[in-house]
Amino acid sequence: MIGRTAAESEIVKPKWSIKSFFLSKKVVPYVFVAPFILSFLFLFLYPLVSGVVLSFQSVLPGQTTFIGLSNYERILNPTFFKALSNTTIYVVLTTSLLTIFPIILAVLLNSKFTRFADLFRAAIFIPALTSTIVAGVIFRLMFGESEDGLANTVIGFLGFDPVEWRFGAVSGMFLMVLLCSWKWLGVNILYFMAGLANVPKELYEAAEMDGAGVFHKFRHITIPLLKPITIYVVTISIIHGFRMYEESYVFWQDSSPGNIGLTIVGYIYQQGFKMNDMGFGAAIGVVLMIIIFIISIAQLVLFGTFKKGE
């Protein structure tokens, strides 16, 4: 290669062929991204578009008809509002619990006063490894109806009567929120600990010199500096919450008494798959998509995340 003259390399320059085409530096990146483009077209864009189209259709075996906005008009029914309100309550509760507790625990785990922090962090993280179905099996068995079940024994000590956990609206919501919080606490702690690692130690030292107390430092240094990660955690918690279904499925499968466990995705599943009303199911899906879009955009506008670029 070395010492080759200009004229020689002119001759050696390969002719156009399929092989050299695929080997050229200009084409290679497209080969690399091709699988993504294909899966984007077939597994994302196509279902997305046909989902929207489907929401304007009535699908019966062998005949599909456009019915305009009828599916959307039908959405405005008490069952949907039940699903929407259940989901919204769930989102508010899980998001606030899964923000406040992880911040406090992350600060404590990060503090020089806490010993065995690595061990405890790992222990709190372990529930995240459990599938929601298995977690649901455990919680169903802990919160059984019988008097000697674990949860009823515990509240018995406190002087309460046994509760039929899965059959009340409040206790049913409690079960779903508890299951979700148990599972995700450790993950959110890790987010906040990663955020805390970026907080310069000098800030705390300077504050201590000025005689700032623990709560003062927490309020005026930790909280403001954790703002970006908090926004991130809040956003993903809200979006995960609106997509929730498994936490409800493990307690009641397809139908819960008085729809206490019905969620938006549960309603899609019930109508689209169980009742085979695909057009209606798709319309609920579009509404869910709009809700999630509004949240994402509100988040971007309120906190200007996209100004910072990637």
Partner 1 sequence: MNSKAKLLSFGTTAFIAIIAILAVFPLFSLFISSLRPSSDLMRSGITLSIPFDKLNLNNYTYIFTEGGNYWDWYINSLIISGFTIALCLFFSSMVGYALAMYDFKGNRFVFILVLLILMIPFEILMLPLYQFMIQVGLVDTYLAVILPMMVAPVAVFFFRQYASGLPKELMESARMDGCSEYGIFFRIMAPLMLPSFAAMAILQGLSSWNNFLWPLVVLRSNTMFTLPVGLATLLTPYGNNYDVLIAGSVMTVLPVIILFLFFQKFFIEGMTVGGVKG
Residues of this chain, 276-305, that bind partner 1 according to CB under 8 A: 278, 281-282, 285-286, 288-289, 292-293, 296
Task: Among 21, 36, 66, 160, indicate the residue that binds partner 1 (CB under 8 A).
Answer: 36
Q: Tokens 């690399």: give the residue.
A: 32
- Span near partner 1 by CB under 8 A; candidates 66-74, 80-88, 136-144, 202-210: 136-144
122 touching partner 1, by CB under 8 A: yes
DSSP string covering 59-120: EETTEEEE-TTHHHHHHSSHHHHHHHHHHHHHHHHHHHHHHHHHHHHHHHHHSTT-SSHHHH
Structure tokens of 29? 């990146």
Q: Where are the beta strands (DSSP E) in the chain?
A: 57-60, 63-66
Minimum CB distance to partner 1 smaller for 65 or for 253: 253
d(CA 278, CA 51): 9
Count Cβ atoms below 10 Å from residue 195 Cβ, excluding itself: 21
Exposure string of 41-67, with b = 16+ CB inside 10 Å and e = fewer, is eeeeeeeeeebeebbbbbbeeeeeeee
In the set 75, 250, 260, 262, which binds partner 1 (CB under 8 A)?
250
**In whole angstroms, how close is the CB of 301 to partner 1 at the nearest point?**
15
Q: How far is the CB of 160 from partner 1 (least distance, A)?
A: 15
The binder of partner 1 chosen from 60, 92, 100, 123 (CB under 8 A): 123
Does residue 90 belong to the site contacting partner 1 (CB under 8 A)? Answer: no
Q: Interface with partner 1 includes 23 (CB under 8 A)?
A: yes
User: Minimum CB separation from partner 1 for residue 298, in Å?
Assistant: 13
Q: Is 232 among the residues that bind partner 1 (CB under 8 A)?
A: yes
Answer yes or no: are the C-beta atoms of 267 and 81 closer than 8 Å: no
What sign does the dihedral 150-151-157-163 (CA atoms) show? negative
Q: Which of 4, 8, 9, 39 binds partner 1 (CB under 8 A)?
A: 39
Q: Rule CB under 8 A: is residue 37 a binding residue for partner 1?
A: yes
Please tell me whether residue 48 binds partner 1 under the rule CB under 8 A.
yes
Minimum Å gap between C-beta 150 and partner 1 is 5
- Interface mask toward partner 1 for 60-89; x: CB under 8 A: ------------------------------
Residue 258 in the binding site for partner 1 (CB under 8 A): no
CB of 31 to partner 1, least distance (A): 8
Build a one-symbol-per-residue string for 153-192: x at contacts with partner 1 by CB under 8 A, - elsewhere: xx---------------------------x--xxx--xx-
The Cα–Cα gap between 64 and 69 comes to 15
| Two structure tokens written together for 68 | 């305009």
Check residue 51 for interaction with partner 1 (CB under 8 A): yes
| Total count of residues recorded for the chain | 310
> What sign results for the dihedral spanned by CA atoms 300, 228, 96, 264?
positive
Question: What does the block give as tokens for 87?
Answer: 């989901």
SS3 57: strand
Query: Which tokens go with 69?
Result: 């906005």
Q: Which lies closer to partner 1 via its Cβ, residue 103 or residue 282?
A: 282
